[in-house]
Structure 1
Amino acid sequence: MSRGVTVDRTGEAGAFGGELLTINFGPHHPSTHGVLRLIVDLDGEQVRRLKPVIGYLHTGIEKQMEALRWQQGVTVTDRHDYLSPPINNLAYALAVEKLMGVEVPPRANALRVIMSELTRLSSHLVWMGTSGLELGAMSMLMYCFRERDTILDMNEEISGFRMHTSYIRPGGVMADSTPRFLEMLDQFCRDMPGHVDEYEALLTNNPIWRSRTIGIGILSAEDAKVLGATGPMLRGSGVAWDLRRSMPYSGYENYDFEIATSDMCDCYGRYLVRIKEMRESIKILRQALDRLPDGPVNVDDRKMLPPPREELETSMEAVIHHFKLFTEGYSVPPGDVYVAVESGRGENGCYIASDGTHKPRRVKFRSASFVNLQALERMALNHFLADMVAIIGTADTVLGDCDR
């Protein structure tokens, strides 16, 4: 057989008397959840080796941020993990605020928590809908996207944008919540527990779903820690590590919620973790809404954020601050800092190095998708090729987040 691009024989003997066959899985395969290419060595139908090949969605986001002023960088953070824009915003904003030594007001923290949990729910809904579609529960996509559309409506109400909101910014948030947003959120918190019950009725005891996920993609707790897995990948292996509880930020220490874990260590266990996380996110949203404090939503620092519009008519100093902010931007003290937050995929970290100017010297994101992708081979070994669909899905990688 002549050597080919898609299929190739390695010449290495397999366990069943034949040769190992090397094939391409992706990058244009619907089950790779993006432009992910996997080079797979097969012994019959069983996976013997697997190598992810990434880079097809490289956008140069980190390098691009070096050419943008600090406040302009927010719009770029929306776009690497494009299923969790506000959580990306939050990691960047917390890093800048840590360098500048500022604390945002309590109302801003509460709104940040609300947007983060809505984003977590939206991300898990996309995962559950697409995974159900791939594994035989086709109606799941319709159910999950019904609720996700409600979340996007709330994003639009509070920020003007449905996905890339750029809502969370250094120093606070873009704008205060509207009365209609709070009404929509209240109704959502009332309705969503029943919708999660619907998802469980469709999947949890579904024999096809269980047969495609139980015992598939085993990742032990020790392997998960060695490979650097975080989020549902780690908690699905029984390790109770959640940055919202382990290293609290934005006031998460004031909320009552449980860390979702499962000792099953397989695709089904990671499904149960995400279901539990959705229920816990609804609890956090209800607490944040009921306790939402009054007050400002941005720091009172004219050198960091523009003055209120009404001040521009009466204060020359306010006009000068406004002009300087939008022509030069603010400067961040020299130094470097790393801040991590918990996204729907795991630890979303942001490293920033400042040289004291109005642009960052270096910005680096620690993306959960990139690190979790390392566990694919360990989970796939000795499974059938057909099980790769469930295993890739359970990692819930966003390829824009991997490549950046």
Structure 2
Amino acid sequence: MPVTRKDLMIVNMGPHHPSMHGVLRLVVTLDGEDVIDCEPILGYLHRGMEKIAENRTIIQYLPYVTRWDYLATMFTEAITVNGPERLGNIQVPKRASYIRVIMLELSRIASHLLWLGPFMADIGAQTPFFYIFRERELVYDLFEAATERVEGVGIIGRDEVINWGLSGPMLRASGIQWDLRKIDHYECYDEFDWEVQWQKEGDSLARYLVRIGEMAESIKIIQQALEGIPGGPYENLEIRYFDRKRVMDYGQQTVRVARYIGQSFMITLSHANRLPVTIQYPYEKLITSERFRGRIHFEFDKCIACEVCVRVCPMDLPVVDWELETNIRKETFA
């Protein structure tokens, strides 16, 4: 004979957003199919913003505050900068204040529109909801026009890109016509008709134009390669053994292949008159990267430089550059 249980069932709903206005959690008590109690639990929009602010500057913190009220983001940014301005008695230029007022009121309109649309949908007028979003997008277009400027932003001068060791489009956007395909003459790039893309302004727009231009040049090269690709084999099956005692110099840094051990081999790193350090490659290859975590393994001076370090450190310190490719770290000592 079946036994009927009369215990109450507690069901957790949420926290979730799609079915209601805002993130909400409901703890529902059921007696069969009857809801006898419902406890709403609020506060799920709190994401520790105050704690994050403890170790951020005002400029670093601004991207966080726009998440407080994602319907009216300009207001949260305004109160974040108004506080320090009042504390420091900072006088904002009148033009800037006017611009702020314009952006704040546009943000107010965008926020109220997103209230109006769901409000009308809740009372049965579904169609205006879509018109509301259309008008709100027009406000967002104005926001984008005001904030997404790239001309004159992030300028890096010619001397700076050289001193900082920048390369690629970053280098060529600051007035330096340097492309290894032209300089190093590797592969068969000399057989194709193409131009080095470069700009002299050094701003974000210049870097954008360089990259766009390089994509167009890449298409030209590909078309020429497809039209002129020769026949014949594509593999060189010649077998060669490399000299185990070959010494490679990178400035004052010496790398020597010492001996083979099974599928690995020993590499000796030495610098000037310091004691050499030998590691087993590839099993110990990541040891050379421990310096990035503050552990010193080699007896030579190191300097991983930012702009400030470059200006204050002695010029005879080696600069360590590395890249990660197919799980192998390649390091260059200059």
Q: Indicate the TM-score class for this superposition, using the shorter chain for normalisation.
A: 0.3 to 0.5
Higher RCO, 1 or 2 (CA under 8 Å, sep at least 6)?
A: 1
Give 1 or 2: higher helix fraction: 1
Give 1 or 2: higher strand fraction: 2
| Greater C-alpha radius of gyration | 2
Provide TM-score, normalisation by structure 2.
0.38
Provide TM-score, normalisation by structure 1.
0.32
